[in-house]
Structure 1
Amino acid sequence: MTGVAAALADAYRREWGRVLAATVRVTRDLDLAEECAQDAYARAVQAWERDGVPDRPGAWLTTVARNRATDLLRRETVLRRTLPLLVIDEAEPGPDEGEPQAVPDDRLRLIFTCCHPALAHEAQVALTLRLLCGLSTAEVARAFLVPEPTMAARITRAKKKIAAARIPYRVPAAEDLPQRVGAVLEVVHLVFTTGHTAPAGARLARHDLADSAIRLARMLHDLLPGDGDVAGLLALLLLTDARRETRTAAGGGLALLEDQDRTRWDRRRIAEGTALLTEALTGRPPARYAVQAAIAAVHAEAPTWQDTDWTEICGLYEVLRRLWPNPVVDLNRAVALGMRDGPEAGLAALEPLLGEPALATYGYLSAARADFLRRLRRWDEALVAYEEAVTLTANDVERAFLGARLAEVRAHRG
């Protein structure tokens, strides 16, 4: 990859959401803003080859995209098409005013627009992944386990609803934030989980998405410093991301939590996450993200895998099940029970989940069951479970790990 190509790829990962959000301020039209942002990246190929990569690629791309939008808006036909769409408060500074604050404000405006309560939850998440994080429609479709044409239609309908309902492009007023922030937190969490372990592809993780989610969570914490849910989410993301550099082995293969070099975990992130967790729990009942963060903190505080306090983790999962009934939570609880009480107990806890429709294509259920069966040396059953897990896994790194375990089981089975 050439220097310009690498710089463009990095700018797309890091700057796409910023460029698009700033351009929407000009166009008031999501489709037109996407077109102008894409055009800016296309123009950068020749301009950067000729003039060199600018010191601030994001600023260069934003300027080109907004200038392109301004040129198009001068055409009467485009102007008539865009004026009835996104509503922007006239009292707010224009896109060229207050530049130091424009980037975070514009990105918050875009995510609150995507997460407006007039949109269905699936549409909120899909729009955020597509617009703010720059995922292709195909990538968003894989994250939702639906065909690409279905996702394309869903995104198009959501954009049209934003236009028809004249949904404002702004951060809600202070009195409306508590009712609106829950949907935003859910979307930020999903963006992070999509980046932490990519649903498909050659890489285990999409660090650009994880970084975007953490930045958004920080913005929300600045906006709502006393909100326990926001503090809990940011704590969860930091405590989980602290293990980033140890999740793959030297050869690029998957490294399980029990095999990771804990001396390489990011202690600064762990300390920040722990402080935020204390903030999230102080003076209020525990909420979903705070409990999840507490589970991550137990792992972070254990000096070795053998020192993990599985009793505490199991207790926290019981609390989480009451706060957030979810089959994936039940799956994680079953794994924790198996670690505390042995693989037979883990299998027993997994048994009720085998008929759960939401987990029918969830590869982690088959993988967890396969691991317990392998530990019990029940090779025939483990073989079937690993074959199922491999079939249901689209991430190449995870798939390679499961394939190696499958080969190990076949060798024992003879």
Structure 2
Amino acid sequence: METHQVIEQTARDAYGRLLSYLAVNWRDLQAVEDAMGDAFLAALETWPRDGIPDKPEAWLVTTARRRLIDRSRRARISESALPTLLAMSEDTQRLISSSTDFPDERLRMMFLCTHPAIDPVMRTPLMLQTVLGIDAARIASAFIIKPSTMSQRLTRAKAKIRAERLTFEMPDPEEIPDRLDPVLEAIYAAYGSGWDEAATADSPRRKLAEEAIYLGKLLLRFAPREPEVYGLLALMLHCEARREARHDQEGNYIPLSEQDCSRWERGLIMEAEGYLNIASQAGTIGRFQLMAAIQSVHAQRLWNGRIEWEAIAQLYEGLIRLNPTLGSLVGRAASVAEAYGAERGIALLEAIPTAEVAGYQPYWALAGHLYKRMHRQEDARSAYSRAIGLSTDVSVRQFLNRQAYEN
């Protein structure tokens, strides 16, 4: 593998872990991000000349730590800061001389982002950028706001952490339930970001879906009695089980209801069902449990050969009562259309305010499908055109284009 490829892969695989390792000991997030950026630039300059170090991650942390020490001395930061960095230097040297990986501090970082002093609206975006390495433009797209606005908000959130020197520690066990929701949301958003490109073997984000599942399992250690953690894991694993079935051998996109379920991974499905069963015993219901239950109904096709659309529609009704997101409203319309007819589905779809759906691809893809079923060809092609324009996956665009012009 070429040097530049090693650096890119290390950035994709380890950036969040390395940044979190440094940041839990040094509360200035912006300074740590800058130091990590300098370390990667130094790698680009020196590794092609001197060779790839035996432990690339340790090299990067050591270089970033030196940048932090240099800046601290130049800025005359209080003397109490330097012993922390020097202690980190000793830890790094121990890690370099052993086979131990760097401690995974990402959950501590994620719970820092749920600190009561941080704007609740910014907690999940802050985790997505600093801990999971997702860029501001992509986060802005997920939250349907301008990239410049998201960047400004993230900068302000980091400045607040620095100014108020917020503590990088796990909350007490009794505090975790109240601070859990944005952590779950960030892991789910990370999974979704990776899932979008999971079928592309060389996608830089393919591994993000796997990392999200890993973080979900790591979270179980800190919140073993929280049913929504089990629900989120069940949801991700049900989706992961179908990764290979999303495209045929030629790379053509295949929607869930048309997938060859013999290509689904039974082991992952059974693992997901196990988590969902544990969640159901808690006696409380939540968003991720309901979303996982919807996927569980789809998974039953592997055994009974059919999709119980009425059951899915009923689950969506419960989901909307708890969490009436745009995705759940569109999902309900789709399931109602399948269970009770396109007319009822399109009525639910058209009831969603137009301003909210302008940039939401699933809405327009479903609208095109339902208009086509109702023989409203002009409306169908117009909706499909909007959906195609909003699709980032080439295979999805090709699928929608075929749907628009096939009878």
What TM-score bracket applies, with the shorter chain setting the length?
0.7 to 0.9
- 2:113/2:127 contact within 8 Å kept: yes
Give the counterpart letter for 1:381 in structure 2.
D
More off after superposition, 246-255 vs 50-59: 50-59
Asked if 1:146 is matched to 2:145, the reply is yes
In the other structure, the counterpart of 2:18 is: 19
Change (3 A) 1:221 1:349: same
Change (3 A) 1:117 1:193: farther
In the other structure, the counterpart of 1:312 is: 311
How far is 1:208 from its partner?
2.7
Give the counterpart letter for 1:301 in structure 2.
Q
In the other structure, the counterpart of 1:65 is: 64
What is the SS of the residue equivalent to 1:307? coil
Change (3 A) 1:166 1:26: closer
Q: How far apart in 1 are the matches of 2:271 and 2:69?
A: 42
Change (3 A) 1:202 1:369: farther
How far is 1:134 from its partner?
1.5
The CA deviation string for residues 3-32 of structure 1, in whole angstroms up to 9 with x for no partner, is 222222222221110011112134321111
Change (3 A) 1:53 1:241: farther
Change (3 A) 1:140 1:95: farther
Change (3 A) 1:367 1:174: same
- 2:61/2:92 contact within 8 Å kept: no
What is the SS of the residue equivalent to 2:170? coil
- 1:204/1:398 contact within 8 Å kept: no
How far is 1:304 from its partner?
7.7
Change (3 A) 1:194 1:359: same
For structure 2, list consecutive stretches of 5 or more residues without a partner in the other structure: none
Asked if 1:222 is matched to 2:239, the reply is no
Report the TM-score, using the length of structure 2 for normalisation.
Answer: 0.87
Change (3 A) 1:315 1:68: same
What is the SS of the residue equivalent to 2:400? helix
- 2:227/2:284 contact within 8 Å kept: no
- Moved segments of 4+, more than 6 Å: 201-205
In the other structure, the counterpart of 2:334 is: 335
In the other structure, the counterpart of 2:364 is: 366
In the other structure, the counterpart of 1:378 is: 376
In the other structure, the counterpart of 1:259 is: 258
More off after superposition, 289-298 vs 144-153: 144-153
- 1:189/1:233 contact within 8 Å kept: yes
How far is 1:404 from its partner?
3.2
Q: How far apart in 2 are the matches of 1:68 and 1:26?
A: 15
How far is 1:45 from its partner?
2.8
In the other structure, the counterpart of 1:36 is: 35
Change (3 A) 1:64 1:252: farther
Report the TM-score, using the length of structure 1 for normalisation.
Answer: 0.85
In the other structure, the counterpart of 1:185 is: 184
Q: How far apart in 1 are the matches of 2:390 and 2:377?
A: 20
- Report the count of equivalent residues: 398
How far is 1:54 from its partner?
4.7
Q: How far apart in 2 are the matches of 1:48 and 1:97?
A: 20
What is the SS of the residue equivalent to 1:303? helix
Q: How far apart in 2 are the matches of 1:288 and 1:222?
A: 21
In the other structure, the counterpart of 2:107 is: 108
- 1:335/1:368 contact within 8 Å kept: yes
Aligned-pair Cα RMSD in Å: 3.2
Change (3 A) 1:315 1:138: closer
In the other structure, the counterpart of 1:248 is: 247
Q: How far apart in 2 are the matches of 1:132 and 1:298?
A: 33
The CA deviation string for residues 324-377 of structure 1, in whole angstroms up to 9 with x for no partner, is 233321210110111222323322332312x25432321211110111122333
What is the SS of the residue equivalent to 2:302? coil
How far is 1:293 from its partner?
0.9
Q: How far apart in 2 are the matches of 1:257 and 1:54?
A: 44
Give the share of equivalent positions with the same residue, in percent: 33
